[in-house]
């Protein structure tokens, strides 16, 4: 039988999607690992079908999928050359149906909702997860409930609202809203598949398996990933732990979690060698998607990153914006500021340590820049004006 598990007190609990937190230590629960025989089915069409044995689902229902996953792993040759880096890749999660990695977790959690006979799902989000949850609810014919912060921009509200959820902009503390959503969920039978939902986290594992196969059935040496609530990093690391326990790899990649310095509770706790983090006051960063002063999966991230021999870094907004621009201009990848923290973190680290010439490095590019245009006042795009008549002359000036 399937169970939830607490990584801290190691106790197992019955599955309860309405309150996936440890009754003893309040930390988020994860799906306990299954001991059944497992294999990949690479001949299948959908990413989740290929990895079904590694997911806590009895079967895949193809019409619940929007075609998430199987995103490109792009070699960043110019970046390698310019900064003298070993083989470097971007796992481009902006290619997902709603333009972020969240779809991978949502599709698994929606399968769970359907198998439990639930008709209502919800999420608390500042952006990407709201759109993803609302889109998959629409596809599955479920009602969705989306709670966003009161100061969420029109563009972000629109990118979730278009799918027709019941949408609330909520005044008040975001951390309290997160906790309250579970009470509301329990009361009204709404499955709130929030950032550290155990099934959502299971879905994120698929990115790890895919990366392994894209590198010719080998793990990269390093993985850089932006961290907010922590669910994504937890899922990715679990994927490589699975590959290790299946005997497919000898060693997990080293994980480097990256936060924006202006809201970096985990980077701070890591630097101070603390086992648990404390709330970050006055968060301020351009990377809104990862600006969570009180991340629910934060203590798990600190624990597993330490056990992994990895690290958590903080990068400045200036470093983030430079990296974002570089990826667009030099590599053709338009990511959001949260994703750009990965390159910013790598460049920061490369000044302090040297990588082996054959160490493969993967940056997980989690979300599209097209969804954060409203954050980008600081960006100067040089659009010149011209009449039709003078256009050719102006081009001549540019080229001369
Ligand atoms: C683009 C982007 N990157 C990274 C993250 C961080 O993921 P997590 O909250 O699972 O740590 C988020 C989500 O909140 C996001 O929207
Ligand atoms: Zn516990």
How many angstroms separate the alpha carbon of residue 398 from the centre of ligand 1? 40
Token representation of residue 180: 């309250």
pTM for the model = 0.97
Q: What is the Cα–Cα distance from 203 to 236, expressed in whole angstroms?
A: 9
- Whether ligand 1 lies within 6 angstroms of the CB of 90 is answered as no
Label residue 35 by pLDDT band (50, 70, 90): confident
Output b/e per residue, 24-55; b: 16+ Cβ within 10 A: eeebbbbbbeeeeeeebeeeeebbbbbbbebb
Token representation of residue 15: 């599955």
Other Cβ atoms within 10 Å of 345 Cβ, number: 27
Looking at residue 262, its pLDDT comes to: 98
Closest ligand 1 atom to the C-alpha of 231?
10
How big, in percent rounded to 5, are the helix, strand and coil portions of the chain?
40, 15, 40
Q: What is the mean pLDDT of residues 147-168?
A: 90
- Whether ligand 1 lies within 6 angstroms of the CB of 366 is answered as yes
How many angstroms separate the alpha carbon of residue 76 from the centre of ligand 1? 22
Q: Which of 149-153, 215-219, 239-243 has the lowest mean pLDDT?
A: 149-153
pLDDT (tens digit, 9 = 90+) per residue, 158-211? 999 999 999 999 998 888 999 999 999 999 999 999 999 999 999 999 999 999
Q: Give yes or no for residue 375 having a pLDDT over 80.
A: no
Other Cβ atoms within 10 Å of 243 Cβ, number: 22
Q: Domains in the chain, please, with CATH?
A: 73-99+199-375 (3.40.50.1100)
Average pLDDT over the chain, rounded to an integer: 96
Label residue 274 by pLDDT band (50, 70, 90): very high
Max Cα–Cα distance, the chain, nearest Å: 75
How many angstroms separate the alpha carbon of residue 37 from the centre of ligand 1? 32
DSSP state of 42: T
Token representation of residue 231: 């669910």
Q: What is the Cα–Cα distance from 110 to 115, expressed in whole angstroms?
A: 9
Label residue 152 by pLDDT band (50, 70, 90): confident
> For a pLDDT cut of 70, what percent of the chain falls above it?
99
Radius of gyration of the chain (CA): 21
Residue 110 bridge partners (DSSP): none
Q: What is the Cα–Cα distance from 240 to 230, expressed in whole angstroms?
A: 16
| Cα end-to-end span (Å), the chain | 72
Looking at residue 353, its pLDDT comes to: 93
Residues composing the chain: 400
pLDDT (tens digit, 9 = 90+) per residue, 345-355? 999 999 999 99
- Cα dihedral across residues 354, 359, 365, 369: positive or negative: positive
Looking at residue 399, its pLDDT comes to: 96
Q: Which of 101, 239, 297 to mutate to test the pocket of ligand 1 (most atoms within 8 A of CB)?
A: 101
Q: What is the Cα–Cα distance from 98 to 66, expressed in whole angstroms?
A: 9
Q: What is the Cα–Cα distance from 110 to 144, expressed in whole angstroms?
A: 11
SS3 assignment, position 362: strand
Angle, CA 279 vertex, CA 275 and CA 283 arms, to 5°: 130
Q: What is the mean pLDDT of residues 229-254?
A: 97
Q: Which of 132-141, 152-161, 190-199, 221-230 has the lowest mean pLDDT?
A: 152-161
Ligand nearest to the CA of 12: 2
> With contact defined as beta carbons under 8 Å apart, do 219 and 212 qualify?
yes
Looking at residue 213, its pLDDT comes to: 98
pLDDT (tens digit, 9 = 90+) per residue, 87-124? 999 999 999 999 999 999 999 999 999 999 999 999 99
Looking at residue 378, its pLDDT comes to: 63
Q: What is the mean pLDDT of residues 24-50?
A: 95
Q: Give yes or no for residue 377 having a pLDDT over 70.
A: no
């Amino acid at each position: 039988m399937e169970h939830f598990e607490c990584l801290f007190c190691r106790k197992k609990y019955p599955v309860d999607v309405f309150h996936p937190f440890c009754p003893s230590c309040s930390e988020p629960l994860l799906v306990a690992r299954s001991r059944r025989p497992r294999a990949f089915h690479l001949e299948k069409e959908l990413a989740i079908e290929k990895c079904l044995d590694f997911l806590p689902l009895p079967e895949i229902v193809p019409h619940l999928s929007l075609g998430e996953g199987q995103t490109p792993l792009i070699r960043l040759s110019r970046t390698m050359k310019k900064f003298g880096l070993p083989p470097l890749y971007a796992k481009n999660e902006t290619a997902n149906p709603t333009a972020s990695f969240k779809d991978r977790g949502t599709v698994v959690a929606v399968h769970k909702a359907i198998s439990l006979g639930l008709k209502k799902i919800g999420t608390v989000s500042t952006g990407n997860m709201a759109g993803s949850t609302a889109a998959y609810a629409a596809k599955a014919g479920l009602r969705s409930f989306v709670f966003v912060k009161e100061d969420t921009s029109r563009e972000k509200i629109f990118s979730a609202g278009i799918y027709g959820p019941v949408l609330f902009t909520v005044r008040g503390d975001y951390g309290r809203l997160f906790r309250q959503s579970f009470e509301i969920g329990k009361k009204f039978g709404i499955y709130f598949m929030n950032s550290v939902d155990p099934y959502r986290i299971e879905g994120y594992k698929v990115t790890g398996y895919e990366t392994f196969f894209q590198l010719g059935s080998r793990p990269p040496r390093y993985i850089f990933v932006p961290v907010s609530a922590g669910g994504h990093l937890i899922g990715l690391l679990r994927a490589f732990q699975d590959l290790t326990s299946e005997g497919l790899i000898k060693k997990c990649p080293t994980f480097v979690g990256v936060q924006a310095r202006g809201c970096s509770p985990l980077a701070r706790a890591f630097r101070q060698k603390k086992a648990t983090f404390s709330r970050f006051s006055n968060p301020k960063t351009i990377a809104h998607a990862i600006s969570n002063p009180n991340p629910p999966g934060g203590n798990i991230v600190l624990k597993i990153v330490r056990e992994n021999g990895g690290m958590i870094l903080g990068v400045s907004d200036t470093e983030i914006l430079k990296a974002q621009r570089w990826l667009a201009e030099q590599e053709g990848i338009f990511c959001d500021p949260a994703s750009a923290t990965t390159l910013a973190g790598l460049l920061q680290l490369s000044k302090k340590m040297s990588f082996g010439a054959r160490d493969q490095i993967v940056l997980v590019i989690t979300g599209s820049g097209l969804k954060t245009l409203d954050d980008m006042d600081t960006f100067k795009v040089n659009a010149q004006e011209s009449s039709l008549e003078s256009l050719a002359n102006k081009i001549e000036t540019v080229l001369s």
